[in-house]
């Protein structure tokens, strides 16, 4: 597999601040993967997200999206249609008062012909299961529905990668399931690379790769099983681990022995059962 | 109370009026408003009222929804009515005390003023209720397009307007939430002298402004992320196109306006 | 006598209009002084409408809300005073901050109570202490502090009224795990120090499981369960059927029982399940 995003030694400071928010951040994201970036508030993960489609550009180091340098102003539109972005607050990313008009916004900006836009809008809304709501007003939808419309608005650009910056932070559990289910499907069925930034540990369990950020650096990376087996270092970063990993960790402290890498409820229950027998 | 504001709301539908081109509806609304200001008698007002009711019926918008839109403006309407009632002198004097008196002419003018304001508002509401803000601003953008030649930022203006309309419900909801949160801390928005009450609004207005700026910031980034780069090279999914029904409607409305003017000329 | 009692409380939004909707129907509940109650239910279940009745922000369509035995809506004076006795922290409370300084913002509630300057000062410092807002922030603008600190300042603004009942609507929403945990600890500490009654509204079953002693579950404007967390979480299927989660630990425990590891049904936090498994290993069984 080839990588779609390469972040190399990126340093970034906000204007007027001394401490860099990103301090030699390096990571690579593979085409088609489901990647989760974890980190506490202020770890630099949202700032990193804004670098991935050229909203911000690095002071030092470089970012390449599908081979394009994000500092190349000429390529900006191509970069943004390659890497779509979904933000935390669904209300603040909708421009239109009707769902389908909102989804049409990006393809309209790309200057596509009307028929093509129509086709893409319908396709995008069907992919997130919101087609029947196409004529609704966004402010009357639930949080999970709004966020799915926001995702459709990005899919309509036919991006190869979608970056989601804490898309579930403002949603209730039902909305969270809807959104996470949708993005997993887009990754597995449609081959779209997903970069999910979150601090809900449970959302990271099915990821292909997890990056943990702290103080503007990637401090650990690996499969979820590898990352979550390191309970102590995650806690030191102000994060927790999923309750399954936490339970096994505490039992280990009390003298139990488990095989490495158990994360789902099923695996966890089986591991305990065989340790007791 | 704030939830009563229905400005800029769109009621989805598929009636004849919903399907008209927004430019047609804009022009008809302008013609209708012109006619309202020309009208001077029971007959002409009656015809206009009939026309309005007919349009509402065709649009299948519930009359109660339109009347609800009038509620926040009730104070202004009542104020206008009272002012005209006492200020306009003429005809027979009916009641009189101290310096105030009510005359038949006063009643007539007050009645006309109230009807004019109410019909003006209801008419424009009919426009916004049956037209999506997007279509409305698109229509406006095309109508104003010639102004681009003299460097008027028509696209930016239209985009701002459609975003403003989109955010009205969001901000109203937010204002409601903040009001409740401050009330929970004992804020009093309802009693006290006028100056005190104005000051009491600060706990509502400051957070509302802060939040509006934050939203604007986030929206700008979200729009850029979706490849927005001004009006240049931008296409539209729903191309506006004038159909035969549009031309007929505009023609009919012009005939209608002429008819009203002629009636007024002949003293009706 | 319960500190809060509702009698046949019913609330209908937009009554008489085409948008009429029943948000609460015939709610009868008693909450005792010092209780720690968790309120759960999916969005639109009526729980937010319910808590806004407890401090008089909403008027019942039918029924009564009693505080210390008195109907809070029986007079204008009581309706105003109830706001100070029942402190309500809304969701994302940081969006309500408006004063020039943190100190002034926390003092907004006490100033509305018309307290003396000295009393106000005392309360602001005390409230800030409870939620961990250092005095070095007092003269800063609430706009220039971090998101987590803003949340604390906003909660302090309600605590400064020294309410007998403190209601918090999703106080940890959007915070990272460390921030969540420290806010929940602050709330527990506050209750221990003052003996206040706490009502916590949350979507996070893990949070609720950790700290409440009684759970009230809302669905469709009704109370469908009102019991100890142990009893409520043992009905996982029922919770799921009304759109709610159960703690992951409950899932693990259920699966273990299916695998013939008989951990007791009362386990819903990591430490409880750990202890249960440890005692099974030793050959005992306890809860």
Q: Is any Cβ of chain A less than 8 angstroms from the Cβ of B241?
A: no
Q: Is residue A165 assigned to a domain?
A: yes
Under a CB-based contact definition with an 8 Å cutoff, are residues A81 and A105 in contact? no
In this complex, the chains that touch A, judged by 3 or more CB pairs closer than 8 A, are: B, C
Q: Is residue A258 assigned to a domain?
A: no
> Under an 8 Å CB criterion, which residues of A touch C?
39-42, 88, 142-143, 166, 169-170, 172-175, 199, 201-202, 238-240, 242-244, 246-247, 250-251, 254, 256, 265-266, 268-270, 272-273, 276
Under a CB-based contact definition with an 8 Å cutoff, are residues B74 and B118 in contact? no
pLDDT at B152: 87
pLDDT at B267: 78
The CATH number that applies at residue A26 is 3.40.50.300
- Count other C-beta atoms under 10 Å from residue A187's C-beta: 22
pLDDT at C62: 94
Q: Is residue A273 assigned to a domain?
A: no
Mean per-residue pLDDT for A91-112?
Answer: 94
Give the Cα separation of C234 and C264 in Å (integer): 10
Segment holding A211, helix H or strand E? strand A209-214
Q: How confident is the model at residue A117 (pLDDT cuts 50, 70, 90)?
A: very high
In the beta sheet, which residues pair with residue A102?
none
Q: How many domains does chain A have?
A: 1
Model confidence at C33: pLDDT above 90: yes
Model confidence at C90: pLDDT above 60: yes
Mean per-residue pLDDT for B81-88?
Answer: 82
Model confidence over A229-276: pLDDT tens digits? 888 888 888 888 888 888 999 998 888 888 877 788 888 998 998 888
**Mean pLDDT taken over chain A:** 92
Q: Is residue A211 assigned to a domain?
A: yes
pLDDT at A185: 95
Mutate which of C20, C57, C98, C168 to test chain B, going by most B C-beta atoms within 10 A?
C98
Q: What is the ipTM of this complex?
A: 0.91
CA neighbor of A117 nearest in space, from A101, A128, A131, A132: A101
pLDDT at B7: 61
Model confidence over A128-144: pLDDT tens digits? 999 999 988 888 899 99
Of B218, B227, B239, the CB nearest to A114: B239
Helix ranges (DSSP H) in C46-145: 47-54, 76-85, 102-106, 108-112, 117-131
Burial (CB count within 10 angstroms: exposed 0-12, middle 13-18, buried 19+), residue C69: exposed
Q: Computed from CA positions of residues A122, A128, A134, A138, in that sequence, does the dihedral angle turn out positive or negative?
A: negative
Question: How many angstroms separate the most distant Cα atoms in chain B?
Answer: 69
Model confidence over C111-157: pLDDT tens digits? 999 999 999 999 999 999 999 999 999 999 998 898 889 999 999 99
CA distance A182 to chain B (A): 20
In chain C, % helix, strand, coil (3-state, to 5) comes to 45, 20, 35
Among C residues 8-47, those touching chain A with beta carbons less than 8 Å apart: 42-43
Model confidence at B111: pLDDT above 70: yes
Mean per-residue pLDDT for C86-110?
Answer: 94
Among B residues 144-163, those touching chain A with beta carbons less than 8 Å apart: 162-163
Give whole-number Cα distances, B236 to B155, B231, C258, in Å: 13, 11, 58
Model confidence over A205-217: pLDDT tens digits? 899 999 999 999 9
pLDDT at C105: 95
Q: Is residue A277 assigned to a domain?
A: no
pLDDT at B4: 55
pLDDT at C286: 46
Give the Cα separation of A176 and C43 in Å (integer): 12
DSSP string, B176-209: HHHHHHHHHTT--SSSS-HHHHHHHTHHHHHHHH
Helix ranges (DSSP H) in B10-62: 16-19, 22-38, 42-59
Give the Cα separation of A97 and A104 in Å (integer): 12
Q: How confident is the model at residue B5 (pLDDT cuts 50, 70, 90)?
A: low
Report the b/e string of C214-253 with b at 16+ CB within 10 A: bbbbbbebebbbeeebbebbbbbeebeebbbbbbbbbbbb
Contact A273 C261 (CB under 8 A): yes
pTM of the model: 0.87
Under a CB-based contact definition with an 8 Å cutoff, are residues A194 and A164 in contact? yes
> Under an 8 Å CB criterion, which residues of C touch B?
17-18, 52, 55, 57, 80, 83-84, 87-88, 90, 93, 95-98, 108-109, 112-113, 143, 157-158, 161
Domain boundaries, position A52: 3-241
Mean per-residue pLDDT for C278-283?
Answer: 82
Contact C95 B184 (CB under 8 A): no
Ranges of each domain in chain B: 1-131+239-268, 133-234
Q: Is any Cβ of chain A less than 8 angstroms from the Cβ of C148?
A: yes
Under a CB-based contact definition with an 8 Å cutoff, are residues A246 and C252 in contact? no
Model confidence over A132-185: pLDDT tens digits? 999 888 888 999 999 999 999 999 999 999 999 999 988 888 899 999 999 999
* CA-based end-to-end distance of chain C: 32
Contact C178 A172 (CB under 8 A): no
pLDDT at B246: 92
Model confidence at C110: pLDDT above 90: yes
Segment holding B79, helix H or strand E? helix B74-87
pLDDT at B6: 59
pLDDT at C64: 94
Q: Is any Cβ of chain A less than 8 angstroms from the Cβ of B132?
A: yes
Beta strands at C4-13 and C62-67: parallel, antiparallel or unpaired: antiparallel
pLDDT at B266: 85
């Amino acid at each position: 597999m080839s990588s779609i995003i390469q972040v190399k030694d990126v340093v970034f400071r906000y204007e007027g601040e001394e401490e860099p928010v990103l301090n030699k951040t390096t990571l690579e994201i593979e085409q088609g993967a489901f990647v989760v970036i974890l980190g506490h508030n202020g770890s630099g993960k949202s700032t990193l997200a804004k670098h991935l489609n050229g909203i911000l550009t690095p002071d030092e180091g470089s970012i390449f999206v599908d081979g394009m340098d994000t500092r190349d102003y000429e390529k900006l539109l191509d970069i943004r249609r390659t890497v779509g972005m979904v933000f935390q607050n669904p209300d603040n990313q909708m421009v239109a008062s009707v769902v389908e008009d909102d989804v049409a916004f990006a393809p309209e900006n790309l200057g596509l012909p009307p028929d093509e836009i129509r086709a893409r809008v319908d396709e995008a809304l069907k992919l997130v299961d919101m087609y029947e709501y196409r004529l609704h007003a966004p402010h009357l939808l639930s949080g999970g529905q709004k966020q799915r419309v926001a995702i459709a608005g990005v899919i309509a650009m036919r991006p190869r990668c979608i970056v989601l910056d804490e898309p579930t932070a403002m949603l209730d559990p039902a909305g969270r399931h809807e959104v996470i289910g949708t993005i997993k499907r887009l990754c597995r069925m449609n081959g779209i690379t997903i970069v999910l930034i979150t601090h809900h540990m449970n959302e990271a369990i099915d990821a292909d790769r997890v990056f943990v950020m702290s103080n503007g650096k990637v401090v650990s990376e690996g499969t979820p099983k590898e990352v979550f087996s390191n309970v102590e270092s995650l806690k030191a970063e102000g994060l927790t681990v999923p309750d399954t990993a936490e339970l096994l960790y505490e039992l280990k402290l009390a003298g139990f022995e488990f095989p490495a890498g158990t994360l789902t409820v099923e695996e966890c229950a089986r591991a305990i059962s065989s340790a007791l027998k | 109370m704030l939830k009563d504001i229905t400005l800029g709301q769109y009621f989805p539908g598929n009636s004849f009026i919903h399907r008209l081109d927004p430019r047609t509806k804009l022009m008809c609304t302008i013609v209708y408003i012109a006619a309202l200001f020309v009208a001077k008698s029971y007959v002409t007002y009656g015809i206009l009222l009939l026309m309005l009711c007919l349009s509402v019926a065709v649009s299948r918008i519930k009359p109660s929804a339109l009347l609800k839109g009038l509620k926040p403006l009730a104070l202004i309407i009542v104020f206008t009515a009272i002012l005209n009632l006492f200020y306009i002198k003429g005809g027979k004097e009916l009641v009189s005390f101290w310096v105030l008196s009510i005359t038949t002419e006063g009643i007539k003018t007050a009645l006309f003023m109230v009807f004019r304001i109410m019909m003006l508002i209801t008419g424009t509401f009919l426009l916004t209720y049956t037209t999506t803000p997007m279509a409305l601003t698109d229509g406006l953008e095309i109508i104003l397009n010639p102004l681009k030649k003299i460097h008027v930022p028509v696209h930016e203006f239209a985009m701002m307007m459609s975003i403003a309309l989109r955010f009205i419900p969001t901000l109203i909801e937010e204002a409601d939430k903040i009001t409740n949160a401050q009330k929970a801390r004992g804020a009093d928005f309802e009693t006290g002298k006028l100056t005190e009450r104005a000051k009491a609004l600060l706990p509502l207005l400051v957070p509302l402004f802060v939040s509006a700026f934050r939203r604007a910031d986030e929206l700008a980034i979200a729009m850029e992320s979706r490849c927005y780069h001004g009006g240049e090279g931008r296409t539209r999914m729903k191309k506006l196109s004038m159909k035969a029904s549009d031309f007929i409607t505009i023609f009919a409305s012009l005939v209608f306006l002429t008819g009203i003017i002629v009636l007024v000329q002949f003293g009706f | 006598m319960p500190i809060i009692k509702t009698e046949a409380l019913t609330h209908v939004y937009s009554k008489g209009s085409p948008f009429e909707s029943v948000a609460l129907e015939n709610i009868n509940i008693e909450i005792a002084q010092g209780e720690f109650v968790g309120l759960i239910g999916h969005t639109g279940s009526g729980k937010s409408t319910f808590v806004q009745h407890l401090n008089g922000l909403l008027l019942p369509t039918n029924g009564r809300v009693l505080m210390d035995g008195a109907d809070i809506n029986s007079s204008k004076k009581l309706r105003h005073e109830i706001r100070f006795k029942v402190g309500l922290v809304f969701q994302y409370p940081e969006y309500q901050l408006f004063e020039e300084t943190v100190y002034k913002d926390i003092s907004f509630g006490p100033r509305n109570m018309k307290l003396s300057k000295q009393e106000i000062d005392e309360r602001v410092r005390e409230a800030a202490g409870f939620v961990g807002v250092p005095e070095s922030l007092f003269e800063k603008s609430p706009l220039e502090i971090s998101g987590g600190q803003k949340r604390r300042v906003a909660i302090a603004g309600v605590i400064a009224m020294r309410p007998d009942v403190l209601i918090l609507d999703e106080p940890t929403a959007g915070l990272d795990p460390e921030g969540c945990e420290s806010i929940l600890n602050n709330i527990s500490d506050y209750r221990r120090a003052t003996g206040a009654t706490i009502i916590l509204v949350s979507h996070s079953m893990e949070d609720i499981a950790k700290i409440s002693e009684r759970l009230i579950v809302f669905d469709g404007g009704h109370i469908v369960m009102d019991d100890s967390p142990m009893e409520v979480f043992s009905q996982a299927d029922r919770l799921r059927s009304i759109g709610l989660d159960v703690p992951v630990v409950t899932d693990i425990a259920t699966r273990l029982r299916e695998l013939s590891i008989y951990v007791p049904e009362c386990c819903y936090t990591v430490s409880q399940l750990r202890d249960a498994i440890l005692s099974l290993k030793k050959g005992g069984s306890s809860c």
